[in-house]
Structure 1
Amino acid sequence: MKIEPITGRYGHLEIEGRPHRLYWEEAGEGIPLLCLHTAGADGRQWRALLNDPEITRRHRVIAYDMPRHGKSSPAPGTVDEDYRLTADGYVAQVLAVCDALELEKPVVMGCSIGGRVVLHLAERRPERFRALIGLQSGAAVPPYYDTGWLHRPDVHGGEICGAFAYGLMAPTSPAAEVDETRWHYMQGGPGVFRGDLFYYTVDGDFRDRVARIDVAKCPLHLLTGEYDYSCSPQDTRALAEALGIGWTLMPGLGHFPMSENPQAFLAHLRPVLERIRAA
């Protein structure tokens, strides 16, 4: 049996004045690399990074499950609340995790909603981070589907969430990795995916705030897979041009590059991490 070098832990912390029991996994040592999962999923998406010896030799890789996601429970007394993720709440959450884990100038990398919140972090608290990495990052996304299907009594929530995720992946991604990615989506709590998409499509719209980012204060790196209709390469190109920075197109990858085709994704990520370390 091969045992992976990943340690899982639970911690107790306050986020916006509410107590939370949060789960995270980590591996490696060095520069902290905090990884933010996509809407409706959890930290298992980052398993390839946590298992990559080249990265973990130089980075303490940390992937946490957002409240209500994966092994992190809702705050006490909130199970029946109509969950909606907001920009203020997401920023407060990331900062609370950094404080609780005593991460000094970490690199934060997020995908999808995580790729959106790095923009909010770059705008609001750039001094807190060594660098920010946005995967599938765009300033906004039009509501191209009816999120009501994600939480209704006559539809199996897990299966419809998995179907949504499947359509966002590249046809060239390995079948086993695609299956595991959509399986994570099938296990999400009721209404969680829909609540995350409220941030992604409504409250986290960043179009009128892009000019407020000063990339001189904190380097921002953008990488986007070519097969993605949620955040298309054109969306990331427009964001990068508005910021005056370069970006990386990842051929053959979709909306979940780190989990749907990990080895192809790592080939694009390693040079970015090298540039961050060199700086």
Structure 2
Amino acid sequence: MTLHIEPIIGRYAHIEIEGVAHRLYWEEAGQGIPLVCLHTAGSDGRQYRALLNDPRITSQFRVLVFDMPRHGKSSPPAGTVDTDYQLTSDAYVAQILAFCDAMELDSPVVMGCSIGGRIVLHLAQRHPERFRALIGLQSSAHVAPYYDTQWLDRPDVHGGRICGAIAYGLMAPQSPMADRDETRWHYMQGGPGVFRGDMHFYKVDGDMRDQLATIDTAKCPIYLLTGEYDYSCTPEDSRALADAIGVDLTVMPEMGHFPMSENPQAFLHHLYPVLDRIRSA
């Protein structure tokens, strides 16, 4: 078997976020326009492995994917392991800006999925001048509660297994089994209470329904792509968002809530035209 070494570089950075020292892990590949990718709730940056390995993208874009604090290889800040974690929109925006500043990125593109697809709306509202463009995957202004988050952090329930089960149900059956398995494995490895804490942002604090009118897409372009097989963010949810802020929506057939992870090769063909438009602009 021929040895294949991927071009991805992984490193740690000591970054201060809202006055607190963090040790963040990030991976990157390529050169050109900075493209910062935001993983989903309870998971980590491995979800973007296909982008980091795609020469068509990395020949034009410097792709950077960081693990949020408590996620993947990024530890909680010192002394907070036992803290009841709840992600807020303010904290989420702060960590994205802190990472971009630490990496000295000039007008980066930011792409996020699920909670990442929600936070790009907050970035567009609060700091449109900071970004070249924003891409929302499985992006909606809010989500209706569809399960009790208490089940995500109980001593009598295996948190990793239930997180993996939830992720599995959000993926399209047409997605390749190997990619679906890897996606749910990332969820099964999450720290205690992390997925539940991220859901606080997704279901409560990050609700943007009453703030969409304050987003000016003339200041920063927004692109929306949504998989058709998703009960967490349905195509109808993304369509309502697209209509409200006046942008186009690409509905991706035979993909679910984690398009870049569950069916990466099919997802890339929908992403290429978006990146081409951003680059040419």
Write the mapping of 1:53-64 to structure 2, written as runs, cut at 5 A.
Answer: 53-64=55-66
SS at match of 1:215: coil
Counterpart AA for 2:213? A
Counterparts of 2:205 and 2:251, CA distance in 1 = 27
Counterpart AA for 1:4? E
Counterpart AA for 1:112? S
Q: 1:70 aligns with which of 69, 72, 83?
A: 72
Counterparts of 2:207 and 2:19, CA distance in 1 = 25
Counterparts of 2:244 and 2:5, CA distance in 1 = 45
Q: Are 2:135 and 1:133 equivalent residues in the alignment?
A: yes
Counterparts of 1:56 and 1:75, CA distance in 2 = 32
Name 1:95's counterpart in structure 2.
97
In the TM superposition, what is the alpha-carbon distance from 1:65 to its structure 2 partner?
0.2
SS at match of 1:208: helix
In the TM superposition, what is the alpha-carbon distance from 1:119 to its structure 2 partner?
0.1
Counterpart AA for 1:20? H
Structure 1, unpaired ranges of 5+: none
TM-score normalised per structure 1: 1.00
SS at match of 2:210: coil
Name 2:209's counterpart in structure 1.
207
In the TM superposition, what is the alpha-carbon distance from 1:244 to its structure 2 partner?
1.2
In the TM superposition, what is the alpha-carbon distance from 1:271 to its structure 2 partner?
0.3
Counterparts of 1:145 and 1:91, CA distance in 2 = 26
CA RMSD of aligned residues (A): 0.4
Counterparts of 1:37 and 1:202, CA distance in 2 = 19
Name 2:196's counterpart in structure 1.
194
SS at match of 1:241: helix
In the TM superposition, what is the alpha-carbon distance from 1:114 to its structure 2 partner?
0.2
Aligned residues: 279
Sequence identity percentage:
75
Counterpart AA for 2:118? R
Counterparts of 2:121 and 2:90, CA distance in 1 = 12
Per-residue deviation, residues 254-274 of structure 1 (Å, max 9, x unmatched): 000000000000000000000
Counterparts of 1:144 and 1:103, CA distance in 2 = 38
Name 1:244's counterpart in structure 2.
246
Q: 1:50 aligns with which of 25, 49, 52?
A: 52
Q: Are 2:222 and 1:220 equivalent residues in the alignment?
A: yes
TM-score normalised per structure 2: 0.99
Name 1:2's counterpart in structure 2.
4
Counterparts of 1:210 and 1:237, CA distance in 2 = 13
Counterparts of 1:16 and 1:164, CA distance in 2 = 32
Q: 1:82 aligns with which of 81, 84, 95?
A: 84
Counterparts of 1:265 and 1:44, CA distance in 2 = 15
Name 1:171's counterpart in structure 2.
173
Counterparts of 2:120 and 2:244, CA distance in 1 = 16
Q: 1:230 aligns with which of 225, 229, 232?
A: 232
In the TM superposition, what is the alpha-carbon distance from 1:87 to its structure 2 partner?
0.4
Q: 2:160 aligns with which of 144, 158, 161?
A: 158
Q: Are 2:149 and 1:147 equivalent residues in the alignment?
A: yes
Counterpart AA for 2:59? R
